[in-house]
């Protein structure tokens, strides 16, 4: 029998990919609805190996999707809801055009609603899966919580992001899960550890919102992402609160309004303001579970002894970190950023307050003599108390990253602050710029560890000194016997002088490296080329940062020298 001839572009990459135009025709959706559906379902364009073959001979650049992804979207119930929205908009437009206000109110009161619960459960089957993908969710929700009402960002969405983000901060405070903090130009970096998962997010600085002069940012697409992330964050907050035996939504066990808070007649507004203050503990449910501490003896005996020792040391440091501010009382001046400092201080067991005329939630006044630290960000103050330290806000951040209370003399009012080092730098990672101060700090820590190890070896060596001396005598006798036997076999011969050429060694290494590059497979050459270009780019960036730091240090030394000459 003669086999049937296959039609061109019916198999291979041509059958695996589909253009966006074909996907819109298959799903019968508009471009906006298709984009929204892809964002909610987590489907993105794909890059084929051979674009010409995947586009059925077309040499242009088109947006391609996997056929399986489009078939997956065909069975999504949200498609019917999007079609209902389309019908709803047509009915509302027709009723408004003919000025039939009775039908218009009827349609507006019965508009379709989109529910995303099943998509969150579909994309994140377990709670741990959701925590692993929480970084972008938190960063975007904290960003949208600072936005006013805009064209594509509804006011309700910003308010919802604000409420959910504050609920998450309360959960981190109660769990004492914060580990690292850092201030940058972008905002405040926070890193927490929840259920063994490391979560890092950015909280933007509280500046006045300035609208974009150009439409460089598509807020509509970002708003669609936030629409999904708010549902996801709501699920996560609910699970975290119940695992911590907290009542969700947040409530207070015993809170009585003060004189300045009696104007808040509405109970919901009062609770919302207290939650936003981050300074009141939330009420717990009746069934309290004991805190889960890490059992030091529960490690597997088959594990490496060094890794077990490192894990025990890390657990002890974290246990100490959770209570570094315990017993300390902080008062915040009006010029200090309130929310990040209250969040950090309360995460590590400290008490904090501020001027009650500024914001709701203050617990003690500035005249309280039990205050140990006052956070200020001004060169001087007229009225000062002898019983407390007046430090700049960076002391709080640096103490958390150092996992210990740093000396306050470098952080007094008007002092030039030490460099604020990032705790996210990995000293063992290649091609990463590490400032000289951080490098010196790492070197000091390594020297201290080496010194401790040497002391341990010396203390343990005293017990075995006698055994070593007796063993040395036996070894000396054996060495003397072998030396007499070797003397008869030894002979001397003239040696040849070998001069090593340094440039020849470098040339040979380069040649070997080029030969190794030729051994890379053809399908991996593009990836290898991009990796090498990235490596060169990172090396150039490190060189530029070092040059910038060198010029800064030279200029600072020059200014210092000029001041010294001027004083003389």
CA 264 to CA 276: how far, in whole Å? Answer: 14
Q: How far apart are CA 351 and CA 346, in angstroms?
A: 6
Cβ atoms 141, 230 nearer than 8 A: yes
Supply the pLDDT for residue 239: 93
CA 306 → CA 299, 303, 310, 313, 456, distances in Å? 12, 9, 6, 11, 15
Contact 539, 430 (CB under 8 A): no
CATH architecture entry for 321-411: 3-Layer(aba) Sandwich (3.40)
Yes or no: say if 437 and 421 are a contact pair by the CB < 8 Å rule: yes
Helix or strand (DSSP H, E) at 35 = helix 31-41
For the chain, 568 residues long, give each residue's pLDDT as a single digit of tens.
556 777 887 788 888 898 999 999 999 888 988 999 999 998 999 988 888 888 888 888 889 999 999 999 988 888 888 888 888 889 999 999 998 888 888 888 888 888 888 999 999 999 999 999 999 999 999 999 888 877 778 888 888 998 999 999 999 999 999 999 999 999 999 999 999 899 999 999 887 777 666 677 788 888 999 999 999 999 999 999 999 988 888 876 554 445 444 444 455 565 567 666 777 777 776 655 545 555 555 555 455 777 888 888 888 888 888 889 998 999 999 889 888 999 999 999 899 998 888 877 788 888 888 999 999 998 888 888 888 999 999 999 999 998 889 999 999 988 888 888 888 877 666 677 777 777 776 666 655 555 555 555 455 545 454 445 555 555 555 565 665 555 555 566 776 777 777 788 888 888 998 898 888 888 888 889 899 898 889 889 889 988 998 898 899 888 888 888 877 7
pLDDT, position 437? 76
Q: Running DSSP on this structure, what letter comes out for residue 246? A: B
- State how far the Cα of 65 lies from the Cα of 47, in Å rounded to an integer: 8
C-beta of residue 17 within 8 angstroms of C-beta of residue 54: yes
Pair type for strands 64-66 and 178-183:
unpaired
Peptide bond into 249 cis (omega under 30): yes
SS3 assignment, position 455:
helix
Angle at 252 between CA 351 and CA 274, to 5 degrees: 65
Q: How far is 173 from 195, CA to CA, in rounded Å?
A: 15
pLDDT for res 262: 46
pTM of the model: 0.77
**Confidence (pLDDT) at 259:** 47
Alpha-carbon Rg for the chain, nearest whole angstrom, is 33
Find all residues with CB under 8 Å of 531, minimum gap 6, and list them: none
Structure tokens of 14?
Answer: 């041509």
Q: At what angle do helices 67-74 and 31-41 cross, to 10 degrees?
A: 100
Helix (H/G/I), strand (E/B), else coil: 161: helix
The reported pLDDT for the residue numbered 452 is: 57
């Amino acid at each position: 029998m003669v086999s049937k001839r296959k039609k061109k572009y019916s198999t291979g990459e041509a059958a695996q990919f589909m253009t966006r135009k074909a996907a819109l025709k298959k799903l019968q959706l508009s471009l906006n609805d298709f984009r929204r559906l892809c964002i909610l379902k987590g489907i993105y364009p794909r890059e084929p190996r051979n674009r010409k073959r995947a586009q059925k001979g077309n040499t242009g650049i088109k947006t391609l999707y996997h056929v399986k992804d489009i078939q997956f979207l065909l069975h999504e119930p949200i498609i019917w809801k999007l079609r209902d929205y389309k019908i709803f908009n047509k009915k509302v437009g027709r009723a408004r055009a003919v000025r039939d206000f009775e039908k218009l109110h009827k349609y507006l009161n019965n508009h379709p609603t989109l529910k995303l619960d099943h998509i969150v459960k579909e994309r994140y089957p377990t709670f741990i899966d959701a925590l692993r993908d929480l970084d972008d969710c938190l960063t975007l929700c904290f960003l949208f919580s600072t936005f006013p009402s805009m064209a594509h960002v509804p006011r309700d969405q910003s308010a919802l992001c604000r409420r959910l983000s504050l609920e998450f901060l309360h959960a981190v405070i109660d769990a004492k899960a914060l580990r690292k903090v850092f201030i940058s130009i972008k905002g405040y970096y926070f890193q927490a550890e929840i259920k063994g998962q490391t979560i890092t997010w950015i909280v933007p600085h509280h500046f006045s919102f300035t609208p974009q002069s150009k439409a460089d940012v598509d807020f509509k697409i970002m708003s669609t992402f936030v629409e999904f992330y708010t549902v996801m964050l709501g699920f996560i907050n609910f699970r975290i609160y119940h695992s911590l035996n907290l009542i969700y939504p947040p409530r207070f066990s015993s809170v009585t309004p003060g004189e300045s808070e009696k104007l808040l007649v509405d109970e919901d507004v009062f609770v919302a303001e207290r939650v936003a203050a981050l300074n009141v503990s939330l009420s717990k449910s009746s069934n309290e579970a004991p805190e889960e501490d890490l059992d030091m003896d529960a490690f597997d005996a088959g594990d490496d002894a060094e890794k077990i020792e490192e894990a025990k040391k890390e657990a002890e440091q974290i246990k100490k970190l959770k209570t570094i501010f315990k017993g300390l009382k902080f008062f915040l001046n009006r010029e200090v950023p309130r929310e990040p400092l209250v969040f950090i201080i309360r995460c590590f067991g400290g008490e904090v307050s501020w001027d009650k005329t500024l914001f709701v939630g203050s617990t003690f006044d500035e005249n309280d003599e039990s205050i140990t630290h006052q956070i200020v960000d001004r060169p001087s103050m007229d009225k000062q108390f002898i019983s407390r330290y007046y430090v700049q806000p960076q002391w709080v951040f640096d103490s958390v990253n150092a996992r210990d209370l740093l000396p306050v003399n470098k952080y007094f009012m008007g002092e030039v602050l030490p460099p604020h080092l990032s705790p996210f730098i990995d000293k063992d990672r290649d091609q990463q710029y590490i400032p000289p101060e951080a490098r010196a700090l790492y070197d000091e820590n390594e020297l201290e560890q080496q010194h401790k190890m040497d002391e341990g070896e010396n203390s343990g060596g005293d017990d075995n000194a006698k055994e070593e001396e007796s063993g040395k005598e036996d070894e000396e006798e054996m060495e003397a016997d072998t030396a007499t036997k070797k003397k008869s076999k030894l002979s001397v011969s003239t040696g040849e002088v070998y001069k090593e050429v340094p440039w020849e060694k470098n040339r040979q290494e380069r040649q070997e490296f080029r030969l190794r590059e030729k051994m890379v497979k053809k399908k991996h050459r593009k990836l290898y080329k991009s990796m090498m270009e990235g490596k060169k780019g990172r090396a150039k960036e490190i060189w530029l940062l070092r040059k910038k730091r060198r010029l800064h240090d030279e200029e600072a030394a020059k200014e210092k020298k000029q001041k010294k000459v001027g004083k003389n």
